[in-house]
A = this chain, B = another copy of it.
Amino acid sequence: MVFTQLHFSVAAGGAIVLRGPNGSGKTTLLRLMAGLARPVTGQLKWSGAALEDSDAHGKHLRFIGHLDAIKPAFTVRENLTFWRDFWNTGDASRVVDAMEAFGLAALADFPARLLSAGQRHRLALARLIASPAPLWLLDEPANALDDRSLNALTRTIADHRAKGGMVILASHGADLVSGGTTLALDKFTPTEVMQWDET
């Protein structure tokens, strides 16, 4: 699939908000930027160099999508600890910070199976703090969050940017960043990989 004519870049501390109706390709674009999908034409660059090795690209980013990658059998703490150990950035104490930032501290030893929808989503977001990375790709991070958590998220994003981090997020309603670029996706055009000259 290709997005025809899309050029943009994020500087350190910058933010991009993707907007557009359902099915306009926000999720698809975010996955592309995460390196989970490959562009048919065009390329992704990181610090000026084209990205070839998508294995290494994963180091630079955290992607939080519609699916929350939570194991219901593990407690909140175990879920977070696993991802911190897996990426191994930030030290182990950040797991606690992350739970505090998203109001999960009281639920730390609950199995994730018992969480409400909003709590699950907050647990997914807490990965951003537990194991830091410069680029955050967030797909509708405001979903199912109550007002308090929304504030917490806004604050977290602002902190991240203040430290030179970058954020690209898709959103329908809430305004989660101040002073970012807005990218309006309008109509999504999937095309086949194969291209030929009609003669």
Contacts and interface: CB of A to CB of B under 8 A. Distances in A.
Contacts of A145: 22, 172
What is the interface residue range for chain A against chain B? 20 to 34
Interface string A144-175: 11111100000000000000000000001110
Copies, count: 2
30 contacts: A20-B146, A21-B118, A21-B147, A21-B148, A21-B149, A22-B116, A22-B117, A22-B118, A22-B119, A22-B122, A22-B144, A22-B145, A22-B146, A22-B149, A23-B115, A23-B116, A23-B118, A23-B119, A27-B116, A27-B117, A66-B117, A117-B139, A117-B140, A118-B172, A140-B144, A143-B144, A144-B172, A146-B172, A173-B173, A173-B174
